[in-house]
Amino acid sequence: MKSLQLTDFGKPLQWNEYETPEPVGKEVLVKVSACGVCHSDLHIWEGYYELGGEERIYVKERGVNLPLTMGHEVVGVVEAAGPDVTGVKPGDKRLVYPWVGCGTCKYCRSERPQMCSKPRSLGVYTNGGYSSHVLVPDAQYLVNIDGLRDEQACSYACAGLTAYSALKKAMPLESDETLVLVGAGGLGLMAVQVVRELTDARVIMMDIDDEKLETVRSLTPGVETLNTSQKDAVSTIMEMTANAGANAVIDFVNNEHTAKASFGMLAKNGQMIMVGLFGGKLTFPTPVPALKNQTIRGSYTGSLVELRELIDIIKEKDLRPVPVKTYPMDEAASLLDRVKDGKIIGRAVLTP
Ligand SMILES: [Zn+2]
Ligand SMILES: [Zn+2]
């Protein structure tokens, strides 16, 4: 088995060769056919998340150990299964749910392992998909994606799931209400792709890049776009909503500028959902959420149940695909640089 590994934070990834593991117990060995590159891979590679000011969270202190094979958006073919595996057999194609937990706590037992306090997420805490193979601890983390293309399906494991779970938290929204989405990167586009399956509300996507906003309009007609590079986001949304504000804002960027704007445009009884990991600090007058009955919350990835729901929607509905570009796995490092520059439209996917 060959794996492209992070051996030193911030240094070029390195190919290492290991003996291909033999699955034991409930483990399943998956041969990787596509692996999405996620913005959070960039944070792991660099070794930290920005908290605003000079403060950082170091991933090493959060339990990330090197060498590590990154990659948590994996589609592959089952190559071997441990003796206790049921439900899959060699040759089956599956999407890997990467947000694996301890397996025994109440969250893990109810298929919400993304909230486990002892995470073993693939590509974050254990080896992931920048590799010829990935070892999945249990077949329950494998999702059937029959009929979907590998390079389209893989990004539903993180970007798609994160967007879907955040959208669900914003629901219900009525047709005369407004949902603002901030940031038309991979997550934002995934949200735009499925948003009409969840609500008839008015949807406005904000970004500072016209090309990305163009992609939003072509993906789901009827979704409005707003370029905030030259305009004040809060006053423009207030104008667009006759001063009512946004009933829900999902901030896929969540840096100090976008979080401030998201809070500022929130309607009475509105909900602000913080998703992005771009980093920063938010200060606000504490009486405002109380007086306006507002909710500020976060959303991290999503549950196994939500991933299956999302894949069912994608299989059943004839939604327009989010743009995807594939690259050979060798190009992972240069790709991470382009992710950092924000140059990617849609999703970048590595193939062996
Ligand atoms: Zn991710
Ligand atoms: Zn657990």
CA distance 33 to 54: 40
Percent of the chain with pLDDT over 70: 100
What pLDDT sits at residue 209? 95
352/224 Cα distance (integer angstroms): 38
Ligand minimally distant from the alpha carbon of residue 107? 2
Fold of 2-158+302-351: Quinone Oxidoreductase; Chain A, domain 1 (3.90.180)
Cα 129 to Cα 3, 70, 156, 352, distances in angstroms = 8, 6, 14, 10
CATH number assigned to the domain with residue range 160-298, chosen from the 4 options 3.40.1390.10, 3.40.50.300, 3.20.20.70, 3.40.50.720: 3.40.50.720
Q: What is the pLDDT of residue 49?
A: 86
- DSSP, collapsed to helix, strand or coil, labels residue 113 as helix
Pair of tokens at residue 217: 């309009």
Ligand nearest to the CA of 122: 1
Residue holding tokens 């896929």? 252
Q: What is the pLDDT of residue 54?
A: 82
Q: Decide whether 2-158+302-351 matches 160-298 in CATH topology.
A: no
How high is the pLDDT of residue 346?
83
Q: Give the three-state DSSP class for 12.
A: coil
Q: How many CB atoms are located within 10 Å of the residue 144 CB? A: 16
DSSP string, 306-318: HHHHHHHHHHHS-
pTM (two decimals): 0.96
> Are the C-beta atoms of 223 and 203 separated by less than 8 Å?
yes
**Distance between Cα 93 and ligand 1 center (Å):** 21
| pLDDT above 90 (res 339) | no
Q: Which residues contact 325 (CB under 8 A, 6 or more apart)?
A: 344, 346, 347, 348, 349
Quick one: DSSP state of residue 140? G
Question: Which ligand has the minimum distance to the alpha carbon of residue 101?
Answer: 2
Q: Ligand 2 centre and the CA of 121: distance in Å?
A: 11
Q: From the CA of 162, which ligand is nearest?
A: 1
Q: Residue 132: its pLDDT value, please?
A: 97
Is residue 338 predicted with pLDDT exceeding 90? no
pLDDT at residue number 340: 82
Closest listed ligand to the CA of 137 = 2
Q: What is residue 44's three-state secondary structure?
A: helix
Using the mean position of ligand 1's atoms as its centre, give its distance from the Cα of residue 312 in Å: 20
Largest CA distance in the chain: 63
Is the pLDDT at 245 greater than 90? The verdict is yes
Report how far ligand 1's centroid is from the alpha carbon of 141 (Å): 16
Report residue 141: phi and psi, to 5°. -90, 5
pLDDT tens across 192-228, in order?
A: 999 999 999 999 999 999 999 999 999 999 999 999 9
In the chain, the N- to C-terminal Cα span, in Å, equals 12
Task: Give distance in angstroms: CA of 269 to centre of ligand 1.
Answer: 30
Q: Residue 305's CB: how many other CB atoms inside 10 A?
A: 11
Ligand 2 centroid – CA 47 distance (Å): 24
pLDDT the model gives residue 321: 92
- Of the CA atoms within 13 Å of residue 34, those in its CB half-sphere come to 22
**Domain range annotation of the chain:** 2-158+302-351, 160-298
CA of 45 to the centre of ligand 1 (A): 13
Ligand closest in space to the Cα of 104: 2
Ligand nearest 72 Cα, by number?
Answer: 1
